[in-house]
Amino acid sequence: MPIAAQAEGQNFIVVEYAPFSKHLSKSDAPTGGYNEDNHIVIVKFGREHQLNAHWDYNWSAGYTVFKNSYDKTSHGPGVGAEALYRLPHNFKLYGGADLGLVSGYENNVDRDAVLFNRFIPFLTFNAGAEYDLGDNLPSIRSGIRYVPASLVGSDDVVTLSLGGRIHW
């Protein structure tokens, strides 16, 4: 029976918040510099599966809203995947990536990167730690995100995030 439960997986929602970012260079910065107070909010719904006694993986879809580096409101949908390694005492380490579309950059990046006159593709790599508070309780998580914005003709970005995850 445990094998059937593993195959079924478990639904979850993640909410993360990253108050600021840090650009790794300033070569494409506007006059006055980048806005680094982004207040990024990420909400993802997904499904997690147990691979074996130590590893889990998940797939998710979500939405991101934030004040971008050019002081414009940005938002957009995305999909993601993570691998999670279980440690003793309810801790997990995670790593993964998100891929999606985001608005608010159409006048600040390579024109060839703009889709539908409004969105640019984004790729984010993430890694961090998660602590499960117990059965039927949420997990808390904190991590780092790296956005290789040079893919669309801008400067790469790093953020730190804090959030929670609820399984059902």
Find, among 115, 127, 121, 67, the residue nearest to 99 by Cα: 121
CA distance 68 to 70: 5
Global confidence as pTM: 0.89
Rounded to a whole number, what is the largest CA-CA distance in the chain? 62
**Mean pLDDT value of segment 139-156:** 94
What CATH number does residue 124 fall under? Answer: 2.40.160.20
Q: What is the DSSP string of 105-137?
A: -TTTS-GGG-BTTTEEEEEEEEEEEEEE-STTS
Domain that includes residue 145, residue range: 2-167
* pLDDT tens digits for range 95-104: 999 999 999 9
Span 44-94, pLDDT tens digits: 999 999 999 999 999 999 999 999 999 999 999 999 999 999 999 999 999
Predicted local confidence at residue 4, as pLDDT: 39
**Per-residue pLDDT, 110:** 82
User: Structurally, how many domains does the chain consist of?
Assistant: 1
| Residue 2, pLDDT above cutoff 60 | no
pLDDT of residue 45: 98
